[in-house]
């Protein structure tokens, strides 16, 4: 049997390679930071991590995790409801709710699990989920696992959302679901308009703050802060794997009855191990830091403004963004790949994205800014972009 299957897989993999979407992994041999070392020995400036606040190797967090590792050892070896709940998990859940201005929270091994386990326990075939077309894969998978009727609206298109809400009026409950920041363009969900339509058509709202928590809003509280609607959405999901330290862990936070039901019925929570105590301890320290100072957010916002204004002044075509994601539009897939390769030669690590990750003829280089970047590093990247842009005849 395996002979046939092996042949089948080999062929499929070959097709992935031919289509140009085969993913090779670059191997880091240093901590995750603004400057990284790869296994070829090359040191490069990193503009493609989700390390928005530079917390992936923050000394305070390493100290909190190390101390906890010594005191509480390595793992929990249990799901939460058997013997896998520690005081640290409870404290972290409280801290997450405090950060977002919500009532309660529940931890998962990852946000992929939070999204995978949020719909099925709450909604049935009598209900409707109305989802943005560009929502993250984990939301799409979570919706698939739920029996609710599915409605889809074009990205951030409020006319289309209104139409879908009208079509869903005969359902018992309606839930509108959106990413906070859409990761390919960096645009932010129009939360005020979504909430207005939700009120008009009697729907609840869920937002995934994975790319926005810690990042957008004056104090980094995410899109509900940016759009002035803290405490107004029923469900927020997010990750501890991006701005919040980049280790592992996800969460759902919101109305307390919703969280209570998830604790009873959410399958990735009930049937998967609880996060290591050291990760919880570092998470607690991280949320304390978020309360103590706004320095990292201020630096991230300043870095983002600086980079984008210099790139625009140089003549690059930048997608409108309200986050720390900056899409440098090149449109042509081959060109985007070549541009990224040449930037790596210049010591700048970025990724070119093309179809099917973004629409056809919308190829781009995605730059992710971080509070860890120093101005000289931003300047080095901007100079490299300009140099390569001239070599490839994108800039005059
Ligand atoms: C990264 C991301 C996730 C997955 O988070 P993990 O904790 O890494 O599983 C989910 N949703 C969105 C919008 C994301 O960007």
Q: Clarify whether residues 255 and 311 are in a common domain.
A: no
d(CA 152, CA 154): 7
pLDDT band, very low/low/confident/very high, at 336 (cuts 50, 70, 90): very high
Decide: residue 218, CB within 10 A, 0-12 exposed, 13-18 middle, 19+ buried: exposed
Per annotation, catalytic residue among 227, 242, 301, 373: 242
Q: Clarify whether residues 108 and 75 are in a common domain.
A: yes
Domain, as residue range, for 98 = 67-292
pLDDT of 168 > 80? The answer is: yes
pLDDT (tens digit, 9 = 90+) per residue, 20-77? Answer: 778 889 899 999 999 999 999 999 999 999 999 999 999 999 999 999 999 999 999 9
Q: What is the CATH number of the domain that holds 279?
A: 3.40.640.10
pLDDT of 288 > 90? The answer is: yes
Mean pLDDT of the chain: 97
Q: What is the CATH number of the domain that holds 333?
A: 3.90.1150.10
Q: Clarify whether residues 120 and 43 are in a common domain.
A: no
Q: Please name the residue whose Cα sits nearest to atom 2 of ligand 1.
A: 210
Q: Clarify whether residues 158 and 274 are in a common domain.
A: yes
Q: Please name the residue whose Cα sits nearest to atom 5 of ligand 1.
A: 111
Q: Clarify whether residues 112 and 24 are in a common domain.
A: no
Q: Clarify whether residues 198 and 248 are in a common domain.
A: yes
Q: Copy the structure tokens of residue 375.
A: 């101005």
The string over 126-151, giving b where at least 16 C-beta atoms fall within 10 Å of a residue's C-beta and e elsewhere, is ebbbbbbebbbebbeebbeebebbeb
Q: Is 89 helix (H, G, I), strand (E, B) or coil?
A: helix
Ligand 1, pocket residues at CB < 6 Å: 110-112, 115, 136, 138, 179, 183, 208, 210-211, 239, 241, 250
Q: Which of 126, 142, 128, 144 is nearest to 179 (CA)?
A: 142
pLDDT band, very low/low/confident/very high, at 356 (cuts 50, 70, 90): confident
Whether the CB-CB separation of 100 and 222 falls below 8 Å is answered with: yes
The pLDDT of residue 21: 79
pLDDT of 396 > 90? The answer is: no
pLDDT (tens digit, 9 = 90+) per residue, 100-131? Answer: 999 999 999 999 999 999 999 999 999 999 99
pLDDT (tens digit, 9 = 90+) per residue, 289-323? Answer: 999 999 999 999 999 999 999 999 999 999 999 99
Strands 250-254 and 235-239: antiparallel
Tell which wins on pLDDT, 360 or 268: 268
Residue 60 lies in a domain: no
Residue 304 lies in a domain: yes
Residue 373 lies in a domain: yes
Active site residue 86: no
Q: Clarify whether residues 169 and 214 are in a common domain.
A: yes
Tell which wins on pLDDT, 24 or 214: 214
* Helix and strand counts by DSSP (H, E) for the chain: 14, 13
d(CA 254, CA 214): 17
Query: What is the three-state SS of 280-337?
Result: HHHHHHHHHHHHHCCHHHHHHHHHHHHHHHHHHHHCCCECCCCCCEEEEEEECHHHHH
Active site residue 370: no
Residue 64: alpha-carbon gap to chain centroid:
24
Query: Domain ends where: 276, 292, 308?
Result: 292
Q: Clarify whether residues 234 and 118 are in a common domain.
A: yes
Residue 370 lies in a domain: yes
The pLDDT of residue 331: 96
């Amino acid at each position: 049997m395996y002979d046939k299957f092996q042949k089948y897989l080999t062929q499929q993999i070959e097709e992935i390679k031919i289509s140009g979407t085969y993913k090779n992994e670059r191997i880091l041999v240093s901590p995750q930071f603004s400057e990284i070392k790869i296994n070829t020995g090359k040191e490069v400036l990193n503009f493609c991590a989700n390390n928005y606040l530079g917390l992936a190797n923050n000394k305070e967090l390493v100290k909190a995790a190390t101390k906890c590792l010594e005191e509480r050892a390595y793992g929990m070896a249990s799901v939460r409801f058997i013997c896998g709940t520690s005081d640290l998990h409870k404290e972290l859940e409280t801290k997450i709710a405090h950060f977002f201005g919500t009532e309660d929270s529940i931890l998962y091994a990852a946000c992929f699990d939070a999204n995978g386990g949020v719909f099925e326990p709450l909604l049935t075939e009598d209900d409707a989920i109305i989802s943005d077309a560009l929502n993250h894969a984990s939301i799409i998978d979570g919706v698939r696992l739920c029996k609710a009727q599915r409605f889809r609206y074009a990205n951030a298109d409020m006319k289309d959302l209104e139409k879908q809400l009208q079509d869903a009026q005969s359902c018992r409950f309606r839930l509108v679901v959106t990413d906070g920041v859409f990761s390919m363009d960096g645009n932010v969900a129009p939360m005020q308009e979504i909430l207005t339509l939700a009120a008009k058509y009697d729907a609840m709202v869920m937002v995934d703050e994975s790319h926005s928590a810690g990042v957008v809003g004056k104090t980094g509280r995410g899109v509900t802060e940016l759009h002035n609607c803290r405490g107004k959405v029923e469900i927020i999901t997010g990750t501890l794997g991006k701005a919040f330290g980049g280790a592992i862990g996800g969460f759902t936070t919101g109305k307390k009855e919703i969280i209570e039901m998830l604790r009873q019925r959410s399958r990735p929570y009930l049937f998967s191990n609880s996060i290591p105590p050291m990760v919880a301890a570092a998470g607690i320290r991280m949320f304390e830091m978020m309360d103590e100072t706004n320095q990292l957010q201020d630096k991230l916002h300043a870095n983002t403004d600086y980079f984008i204004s210099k790139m625009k002044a140089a003549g690059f075509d930048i997608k409108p963004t309200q986050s720390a994601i900056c899409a440098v539009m090149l449109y042509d897939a081959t060109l985007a790949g070549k541009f990224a390769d040449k930037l790596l030669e210049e010591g700048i690590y970025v990724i070119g994205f093309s179809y099917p990750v973004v629409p056809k003829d919308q190829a781009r280089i995605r730059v992710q800014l971080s509070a860890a970047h120093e101005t000289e590093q931003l300047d080095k990247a901007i100079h490299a972009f300009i140099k390569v842009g001239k070599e490839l005849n994108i800039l005059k």
